[in-house]
Chain A
């Protein structure tokens, strides 16, 4: 990918440039290998980090504790995936509700309620203004807080306030849902606001109510446009599930630390867990890229048939990228 997009920076290399590239490639590769050998492999090997004693329980099926270790890790991964799945579903639901609520409140604020008697109209307008302020405040606060802090205070604060969710899993899911729901809500909202104004106008013209227009016209399109950003947010949820170990939810990292206490091989265990995490997340980000390509293709054909909407759509593309950047 980088090859294609970047080759625009330099000419197709001639014989001399090719020679220089080849020589510097070999030099760079040698430097990298030498650096890895002297700075990483040698010190680790001297401390016996590559011994079978440390790796065996993880990679050698003949090892006596291999089964136990992987049962533990399997339980951990199952717990991680359970929490991640619950958090994904609930934050999508919560985010959608929040986005619809904010868009509705915004359109409510624009209405003047002239048909109602003056004091009632004023009261309704004050109420919608207040609600808009409250939701905006909620969004800004929980978007600006670290998700660790949200999870930590969910787990330690709610029981004090007399809210008992039972299993510790639910505190983790709640914390993740608050943070990611707010982020997803903002993604969807900016998707809806980035749509061409004609969409809502057309919906109004055929007599849909404001809520119907949001539900049936704007939201589906926002989902479609923002799909890549949504998928990368799901990667974030999966990564953030690992924070469960802070509130001693028995997900994979907590299970790993039990294993490490017994076997004393932290580097090896974290390498294995990290590789699995990376593989899963890598597949998910590939999926996001694929979705983005598919969408770009769909948009290009749509643009050919309806050139009038080009302006509106190009702004949404930019916004998609901006939001996708936020979702780190």
Chain B
């Protein structure tokens, strides 16, 4: 167990890198996901097709391939993902501004991948709103945007919280893959460096790394269970 105590700062730093990565990826995924969800329910057919193609492709593609794409296709497009070096934000999230682009590449891959699931969660929330609500809104003469803004989306939000939460938990777990794609120093990369390069015994390292992830996922899961139970009562 000495390994845990002696390398505490490695675990702590790994935890914070993973946490930063997850916060950024969740923000990105929510933004892209909402856009895609709006596209999928818009009255303009090409946007709808674009939205559903996006969801179908990303949902059925392993994250590993998406990561490979970010790592190979973005440089081929001539981009180092420098648009993510947002001034101010890279002061808080230091990794955004590094010269090595892997953090940004992995971030893009995870956001883009998760966005498909976010869009599905939002859409399932919208579908969960009884159709009488939207019909009533139309009957009193609200337009499509008004209908969405004042009637459907506020109610859809309620139904979307639980699926969105499970998407976020899945995203936190998927973030472990970033450590295997050149993102140095996050929890999973620390797992490799401590066991293979550091030569530390494997069980304590496993416990430390696991604790790092469980601190993130288990409370979220319990919170989600609570919300779900309360909603079941409210219904």
Interface set of A (CB-CB < 8 Å, partner B): 2-3, 5-6, 8-11, 13, 21, 24-25, 28-29, 32, 39-40, 43-44, 47, 49, 140-141, 143-149, 152-153, 156-157, 160-161, 235, 239-240, 242-243, 245-246, 253, 266-267, 270, 273-274, 277-278, 281-282, 285, 315, 318, 321-322, 325-326, 328
* Stretch from B1-9, B83-91, B95-103, B166-174 contacting the other chain: B166-174
Of A277, A315, A318, A326, the residue contacting B62 (CB under 8 A) is A277
Chain B residues within an 8 Å CB radius of A29? 46
CA distance A273 to B67 in the complex (A): 13
Residues 147-182 of B at the A interface (beta carbon under 8 Å): 147-148, 152, 162-163, 166-167, 169-170, 172-177, 180
Q: Which residue in chain B gives the minimum CB-CB distance to A157? A: B202
Chain B residues within an 8 Å CB radius of A242? 62, 64-65
Q: Does B77 lie at the interface of the complex (its beta carbon under 8 Å from any beta carbon of A)?
A: yes
Q: Which residue in chain A gives the minimum CB-CB distance to B69? A: A270
Cβ-defined contact, A267 with B72, below 8 A = yes
Cβ-defined contact, B213 with A10, below 8 A = no
A-B contact pairs, 13 of them (CB 8 A): A9-B144, A10-B138, A28-B46, A44-B77, A140-B218, A144-B218, A153-B202, A243-B62, A253-B68, A281-B61, A322-B166, A325-B167, A328-B167
Cβ-defined contact, A328 with B170, below 8 A = yes
Chain A residues within an 8 Å CB radius of B40? 2, 6
CA distance A148 to B218 in the complex (A): 17
Cβ-defined contact, B210 with A278, below 8 A = no
Tell me the minimal C-beta distance from A130 to chain B in angstroms. 21
Tell me the minimal C-beta distance from B68 to chain A in angstroms. 5
Tell me the minimal C-beta distance from A131 to chain B in angstroms. 21
Tell me the minimal C-beta distance from A210 to chain B in angstroms. 26
- Assuming the contacts A322-B163, A328-B167, asked whether A6 and B68 have C-beta atoms less than 8 A apart, the reply is no
CA distance A140 to B126 in the complex (A): 30
Cβ-defined contact, B60 with A277, below 8 A = yes
Interface set of B (CB-CB < 8 Å, partner A): 40-41, 43-48, 50, 52, 56-57, 59-65, 68-69, 72-73, 76-78, 117, 121, 123-124, 126-127, 131, 134-135, 138, 143-144, 147-148, 152, 162-163, 166-167, 169-170, 172-177, 180, 188, 191-192, 195-196, 201-203, 206, 209-210, 213-214, 217-218, 221, 228, 232, 235
- Assuming the contacts A43-B77, A278-B61, A285-B60, asked whether A8 and B180 have C-beta atoms less than 8 A apart, the reply is no
Cβ-defined contact, A9 with B41, below 8 A = yes
Chain A residues within an 8 Å CB radius of B152? 9
Chain B residues within an 8 Å CB radius of A161? 202-203
Cβ-defined contact, B60 with A235, below 8 A = yes
- Assuming the contacts A10-B144, A149-B209, A325-B162, asked whether A253 and B218 have C-beta atoms less than 8 A apart, the reply is no
Tell me the minimal C-beta distance from B129 to chain A in angstroms. 9
Of B126, B167, B174, B221, the residue contacting A146 (CB under 8 A) is B174
Cβ-defined contact, A144 with B166, below 8 A = no
CA distance A207 to B80 in the complex (A): 69
Cβ-defined contact, B60 with A282, below 8 A = yes
Cβ-defined contact, B213 with A322, below 8 A = no
CA distance A29 to B144 in the complex (A): 21
Cβ-defined contact, B221 with A143, below 8 A = yes
Of B60, B76, B188, the residue contacting A278 (CB under 8 A) is B60
Cβ-defined contact, A13 with B43, below 8 A = yes
CA distance A44 to B76 in the complex (A): 6
Tell me the minimal C-beta distance from B49 to chain A in angstroms. 9
- Further contacts, 8 of them, CB under 8 A, given A40-B77, A278-B61: A8-B131, A146-B213, A149-B176, A149-B210, A161-B203, A245-B64, A274-B61, A328-B170
